[in-house]
């Protein structure tokens, strides 16, 4: 089968992957692979914005304190300081690459304020900031002569010494990455892609839950691949549920109602119009996401309703339409005029604060393998991510990884075997895959959601074991499909989340266990 060689291999085409590609492209050949189209990423769905200290009234120390406070004290202070201090310069790189952010009448950046932030520090482009950043990066990447893009390629597994019949283990620290096996979704053949350095930026895992703001491709593939390659994964119990996704029964993914709307003055209320956040936190509707999500979950259980309300009627109609045109248009499409009616909202799986453990240079525990973006656990977020810190984390660690990897290139391993198809055949039992994925999402949503207990977690683990055995049996005897690979990855991720949730005997940040309610 086909073999490809490149200097730098990038998995994923969101802000982390594309910014890394642009930083290294002047020094070698870059190959970007993405399992769908280049533009179909979670980055493009990000509404709120990107956080940085821009205003004179703000300070690095304030941003650092806000980040650590939101992270329940579990953040790495060194990492937080690095990200906050580098953010303004690296956002300037985005601007130089063509990204536009809103400005006020004076020509200054129109900075928004979101939950957990003590100052206005969110740069944004209306209510589709991620889409604007994705547009600029996509155009820049497509025009670079050293960057090749392979769309509709699904990375299956990292190539390590294991594929040369050399035993490796997670604790040794001697695992090396030589590239990936990738499924060409059009030809249905697995190709061997070899590289001197690989960079993982495959994004989030929201689609292992029934209700999520993530796009359909967010199945945490990079995290699962690193885990199988004997890399270190951490903090997977910290799954962030965005407090406010649009409640529109049957729609998937859920439409995100950005936190910036609350920063602009919108208020959370019960179905009968009563404010409730004052019962849970003195910051009320602008408390950090973990607090707001649990509060909404509790209010829904008390009232027996399927959603709560976000009331933006106190905001000037024209300003509301001007600053949040996509939210206004989306709600209007389902019969809700947000200038006259409340928005029904419900929490939805949104972001993973844990993932592939990396150091301050973006290095994973596997040599020649780097990571950034949502699939990486950098130490910035701790037990809960501060709003709009994700995009800036991605560009800071992509920059660090680019600088470090340029000085630590490996060699192309010509002896790597091609994919072994022996003993496999096409499966006609697609219903096994779709049904198992449906069951997995139900398990994770019902037992491993916003509020957990040991009973629920053990029940989830027992049911997951059955799905794992069925999926592995199918994987061993089937010619690969992306649906089968995604299910396999989702099972791996669910296992890691459940096991790490069971190991944490306390409630902190995004992990709340009723058996251990105290920090």
Residues designated as active site: 289
- Alpha-carbon distance of 187 to 197, in angstroms, equals 26
Rounded to whole angstroms, how far apart are CA atoms 495 and 475?
A: 17
In this structure, are residues 36 and 30 in contact, taking their beta carbons and an 8 Å threshold?
no
- From residue 198, how far is each of 6, 132, 202, 459 by CA, in Å? 10, 26, 12, 37
How many Å apart are CA 6 and CA 196, to the nearest integer? 7
Which DSSP string corresponds to 280-311?
Answer: T-TTGGGS-HHHHHHHHHHHHHHHT-S-EEEE
Count Cα neighbours of 124 within 13 Å in the Cβ-side half-sphere: 29
* Contact yes or no for 397/385 (Cβ under 8 A): no
| CA 201 vs CA 161, 185, 223, 405: distances in Å | 22, 19, 10, 15
* CA nearest neighbour of 481 among 156, 108, 77, 20: 156
Taking the C-alpha atoms of residue 435 and residue 134, their distance in angstroms, rounded to an integer, is 33
CB 463 within 8 A of CB 495: no
Find the DSSP H helices in 186-258.
221-228
The set of residues, in sequence order, having a beta carbon less than 8 Å from that of 499 and lying 6+ positions away, is 461
Mention every residue, 6+ apart, whose C-beta is less than 8 A from residue 247. Answer: 254, 306, 307, 344, 345, 346
Q: 3-state class of 438 per DSSP?
A: helix
For residues 200 and 26, is the Cβ–Cβ distance under 8 A? no
Give phi and psi for 45, each to the nearest 5: -90, -10
Report the distance separating Cα 266 and Cα 288, nearest Å.
Answer: 15
DSSP secondary structure string for all residues of 29-84? -EEEEESS-TT-SSGGG--S-EE---STT--HHHHHHHHHHHTTT-S-HHHHHHHH
Closest residue by Cα to residue 374 from 485, 260, 218: 218
Cβ–Cβ < 8 Å for 457, 443? no
């Amino acid at each position: 089968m086909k073999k490809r060689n490149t200097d730098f291999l990038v998995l994923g085409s969101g802000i982390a992957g594309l910014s890394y590609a642009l930083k290294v492209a002047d020094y070698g050949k870059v190959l970007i692979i993405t399992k769908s189209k280049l533009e179909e990423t979670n980055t493009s769905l990000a509404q709120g914005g990107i956080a940085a200290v821009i205003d004179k009234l703000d300070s690095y120390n304030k941003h650092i304190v806000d980040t650590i406070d939101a992270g329940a004290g579990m953040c790495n202070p060194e990492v937080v300081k690095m990200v906050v201090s580098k953010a303004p310069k690296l956002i300037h790189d985005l601007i130089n690459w063509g990204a536009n952010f809103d400005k006020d009448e004076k020509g200054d950046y129109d900075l928004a304020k979101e939950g957990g932030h003590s100052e206005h520090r969110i740069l944004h482009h209306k209510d589709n900031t991620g889409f604007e950043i994705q547009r600029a990066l996509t155009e820049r990447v497509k025009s670079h002569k050293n960057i090749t893009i392979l769309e509709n390629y699904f990375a299956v597994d990292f190539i390590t010494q294991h594929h040369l019949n050399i035993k490796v283990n997670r604790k040794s620290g001697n695992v090396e990455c030589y590239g990936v096996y990738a499924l060409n979704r059009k030809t249905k053949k697995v190709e061997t892609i070899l590289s001197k350095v690989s960079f993982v930026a495959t994004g989030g895992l929201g689609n292992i839950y029934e209700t999520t703001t993530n796009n359909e491709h967010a199945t945490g593939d990079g995290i699962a691949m690193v885990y199988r390659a004997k890399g270190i994964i951490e903090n997977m119990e910290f799954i962030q549920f965005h407090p406010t996704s649009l409640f529109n029964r049957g729609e998937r993914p859920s439409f995100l109602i950005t936190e910036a709307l609350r920063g602009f003055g919108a208020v959370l209320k019960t179905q009968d119009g009563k404010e409730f956040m004052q019962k849970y936190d003195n910051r009320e509707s602008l408390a950090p996401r973990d607090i707001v999500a649990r509060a909404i979950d509790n209010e829904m259980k008390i009232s027996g309703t399927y959603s709560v309300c976000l009331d933006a009627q106190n905001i000037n109609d024209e300003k509301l339409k001007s600053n949040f045109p996509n939210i206004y248009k989306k709600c209007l499409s389902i019969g809700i005029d947000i200038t006259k009616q409340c928005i029904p909202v419900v929490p939805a799986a949104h972001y993973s604060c844990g993932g592939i453990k990396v150091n301050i240079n973006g290095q994973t525990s596997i040599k020649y393998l780097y990571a950034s973006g949502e699939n990486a656990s950098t130490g910035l977020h701790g037990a809960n991510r501060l709003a709009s810190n994700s995009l800036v984390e991605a560009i800071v660690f992509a920059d660090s990884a680019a600088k470090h990897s340029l000085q630590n290139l490996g060699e192309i391993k010509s002896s790597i075997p091609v994919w072994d198809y022996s003993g496999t055949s096409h499966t006609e039992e697609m219903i096994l895959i779709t049904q198992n994925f449906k069951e997995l999402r139900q398990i994770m949503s019902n037992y491993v959601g916003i509020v957990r207990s040991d009973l629920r977690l053990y029940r989830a683990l027992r049911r997951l074991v059955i799905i794992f055995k069925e999926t592995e049996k199918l994987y061993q005897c089937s010619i690969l499909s992306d649906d089968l690979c995604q299910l396999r990855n989702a099972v791996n991720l669910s296992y890691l989340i459940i096991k790490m949730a069971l190991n944490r005997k306390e409630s902190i940040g995004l992990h709340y266990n009723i058996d251990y309610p105290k920090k």
